[in-house]
Amino acid sequence: MSRVRVAGVGLTEFGRAPERTGRELFAEASARALDDAGVDREAVSALHYGNFMGALGERQGHQAPLMAEAAGLRCPATRYELACASAGAAVRGAVQSVRGGEADVVVAGGMERMTNRTIEETTEALAIAADELFEVRAGVTFPGAYALMARSYFERFGGGPADLAHVAVKNHANAVPNEYAQYREEIAVDDALDAPTIADPLGLYDSCPVTDGASAVVLVSESYAEENDVDASVAVVGSGQGGDRLALQDRASPARTPATDDAAAEAFADAGCSREDVCAVEVHDCFTIAEVCALEGLGFYDPGEGIGAARRGETTADGGLPVNLSGGLKAKGHPVGATGGSQVAEMTRLLRGDHPNSDAVDGTVGLTHNAGGTVASAVVHLLEVVE
């Protein structure tokens, strides 16, 4: 089985760009990725594209061929929808197609345009990732669902808003040098604790922003890279995906996210490496509590231990396991359908050494974790510097 190389990555600047169409955003990200890869468009044999709410946000269905066209690709294109894990699933599909020998050069990524609608409309669109009958109709919002998880966590394991504030402070600090990040200003613990409550126990600074943006990565087979002299030092060495019951009420514990456990177990087994090998992690921190649940689900912390990781300085840029050096969804921004691709793009830059925070990376293996909804879906990838 051939290893899959990351030949190039591309991102748009994340932030508020309400006038930019989805096709323009993805055209920019994919052009940057193809340019970074130095691979001809004609060589690309498929586009694996993630998008969540474009049917509501831009009234645009059938987006995949539109995005292939915007990227200048003439090839089969498929959209993946897995709520906030859409692009993670798209990358995984792309990886599998190269490994299976079906393709030598593919583009994966995603796009979300979110600020062209009112906050109410976008909030309502995001809520459809939850169970319509049993959650949305009962008043569950996206922040409300994570608040239910946070309360459950605090009750079971302890910890509180001050611990979560340290997660926000850390991720904002990491975003400062990142040219693609939405918020490039540091915040203090008190800023987070004094912010308005959105769904208690979560406040405004526990939440990721609403973001427009796109991501793209060019993946090639190892043989293609060798034969065509493609500079691709980072490989995707492991891939895993987990699933769970959609509604939070149907999980054994709202404080645990077993889909992440399953995705991580599969990815580590696939890569044949261990957690000790990992030197940097990008996790799905749509809310601060989500980073805590992710680190525990991934196996870096035992249940109940992840809550203090940022406060203790273990996951900061100078800690033993830097988490979300990109700024994470929290500060880099979360264009929902693009995020999974953005994580792989950022981890590639971090490992290659051309990310502004690459100095914090001490090793060769990085992990990305992309989650959908309240983690009814999770996708994990392991990336490694192989030459």
Interacting residues toward another protein by CB under 8 A: 120, 123-124, 127, 133-141, 143-144, 147-149, 151-152, 155, 196-202, 245, 247-250, 254
Between 138 and 188, whose beta carbon lies closer to another protein? 138
Say whether 84 is catalytic.
yes
Strand-pair partners of 235: 5, 384
Minimum CB distance to another protein, residue 253 (Å): 9
Minimum CB distance to another protein, residue 119 (Å): 8
Q: Residue 161: is the preceding peptide bond cis (ω within 30°)?
A: no
Q: Name every residue whose Cβ is closer than 8 Å to that of residue 40 and which is 6 or more positions away in sequence.
A: none
73 in Cβ contact with 23 (< 8 Å): no
Minimum CB distance to another protein, residue 163 (Å): 17
Between 112 and 222, whose beta carbon lies closer to another protein? 112
Q: Name every residue whose Cβ is closer than 8 Å to that of residue 337 and which is 6 or more positions away in sequence.
A: 50, 51, 52, 53, 54, 81, 84, 86, 87, 110, 111, 112
Say whether 334 is catalytic.
yes
348 in Cβ contact with 62 (< 8 Å): no
Between 163 and 270, whose beta carbon lies closer to another protein? 163
Residue 249 corresponds to which tokens in the numbers above? 């009420």
Please identify which of the residues 48, 166, 172, 334 carries the catalytic annotation.
334
Task: Give me the residue label for tokens 């044949």.
Answer: 272
Minimum CB distance to another protein, residue 53 (Å): 13
Q: N- to C-terminal Cα distance for the chain?
A: 18
The DSSP string of 87-145 is: HHHHHHHHHHHHHTTS-SEEEEEEEE--TTS-HHHHHHHHHTTS-TTTTGGGT--HHHH
Please identify which of the residues 84, 208, 273, 279 carries the catalytic annotation.
84
Between 339 and 374, whose beta carbon lies closer to another protein? 374
Between 135 and 282, whose beta carbon lies closer to another protein? 135
The set of catalytic residues is: 84, 334
